[in-house]
């Protein structure tokens, strides 16, 4: 891997995880995101399935991009994504059944997530298969950390636990009772409005962070001028 490639993949990673984060910046694909982020385990499960689908569809579309006529690219992209998700769903059900019981309901949901089509159209159609697969994975991981945080917050405030339902993934593991047995939970955090409230707080926190970083970056030259 030469320096040029390293710069490209580093750039893709940084954009996926932070600068162009699907959940915090692009605000794309919020429908499954808000529905599923009621707990840490659900949120991470959906994101993992999304990482897989996005990497796979990005790579496939990029590999076929020279064969796809420009004017019919959208139907072909949708066809490819839907076919891949269907195959993935069947394959999980057949050969990874335990994992399927956890991720299964989320996989068909991914087809409805416009972020997959958005990345295929914006990136995979113009780049090499490897870079496109990497972009899909990076965007997916960007979704993963935000969803994990959102899921944890909602679960913590709503039920007073962390990692509830982990026994579905790791048999024998238990949820953490953070606020003790007697915490009744703030129900709204788990209900749909809670998703909007907590997502809004996360977006605000990111914006504040970025604004502060920019202010700090622009200050030293100004100081130099006045001195």
Partner 1 sequence: MSEAADRPDPAPAEPADAIEAPGAAGSALRSAALLGLFTLVFTALMALTQDATREPIRASVEARRLELIAQVLPRADYDNALLEDTVTLPVLPALGLSEPVTVHRARLGGAPVALVFEAQAPDGYSGAVRLLMALRADGTLAGVRVVAHKETPGLGDYIDPAKDRASPKWIAQFAGRDSADGARWTVRKDGGDFAYMTGATISARAVTRAAGRAAAALAPVRDTLFALPAGSSAEPAFR
Residues that bind partner 1 (CB under 8 A): 1-2, 4-5, 8, 38, 65, 67-72, 75-76, 79-80, 83, 86-87, 90-91, 93-95, 97, 100-101, 125-128, 130-131, 158-159, 165, 181, 184-185, 187, 190
Q: Cα(33)–Cα(19) distance, rounded to whole angstroms?
A: 19
Judged by beta carbon, residue 104 or residue 109, the one nearer partner 1 is 104
DSSP state of 39: S
Judged by beta carbon, residue 44 or residue 159, the one nearer partner 1 is 159
**Residue whose tokens read 């949820």:** 175
Judged by beta carbon, residue 108 or residue 185, the one nearer partner 1 is 185
Kindly state the tokens that stand for 47. Answer: 């994101």
Judged by beta carbon, residue 98 or residue 213, the one nearer partner 1 is 98
CB of 115 to partner 1, least distance (A): 21
CB of 129 to partner 1, least distance (A): 8
Q: Cα(120)–Cα(67) distance, rounded to whole angstroms?
A: 15
Q: Cα(223)–Cα(70) distance, rounded to whole angstroms?
A: 51
Q: Cα(140)–Cα(106) distance, rounded to whole angstroms?
A: 14
3-state DSSP percent of the chain in helix, strand and coil, to 5: 80, 0, 20
Q: Cα(23)–Cα(141) distance, rounded to whole angstroms?
A: 11
Kindly state the tokens that stand for 114. Answer: 């416009």
CB of 86 to partner 1, least distance (A): 5
CB of 94 to partner 1, least distance (A): 4
CB of 177 to partner 1, least distance (A): 9
Judged by beta carbon, residue 126 or residue 212, the one nearer partner 1 is 126
């Amino acid at each position: 891997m030469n320096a040029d490639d390293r710069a490209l993949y580093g750039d893709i990673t940084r954009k996926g995880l932070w600068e162009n984060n699907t959940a915090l910046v692009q605000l794309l694909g919020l429908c499954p995101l808000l529905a599923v982020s009621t707990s840490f385990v659900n949120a991470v499960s959906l994101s993992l399935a999304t990482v897989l689908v996005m990497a796979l569809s990005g790579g496939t579309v990029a590999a076929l991009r020279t064969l796809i006529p420009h004017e019919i690219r959208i139907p072909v992209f949708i066809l490819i994504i839907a076919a891949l998700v269907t195959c993935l769903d069947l394959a999980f059900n057949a050969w990874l059944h335990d994992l399927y019981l956890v991720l299964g309901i989320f996989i068909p949901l991914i087809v409805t997530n416009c972020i997959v089509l958005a990345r295929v159209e914006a990136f995979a159609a113009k780049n090499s298969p490897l870079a496109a697969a990497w972009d899909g994975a990076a965007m997916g991981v960007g979704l993963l950390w935000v969803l994990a945080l959102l899921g944890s917050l909602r679960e913590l405030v709503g039920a007073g636990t962390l990692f509830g339902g982990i026994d579905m993934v790791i048999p024998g593991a238990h949820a953490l009772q953070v606020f003790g047995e007697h915490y009744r939970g703030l129900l709204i955090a788990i209900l749909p409005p809670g998703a909007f409230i907590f997502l809004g707080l996360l977006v605000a926190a990111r914006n504040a962070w970025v604004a502060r970083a920019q202010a700090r970056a622009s200050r030293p030259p100004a100081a130099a001028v006045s001195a």
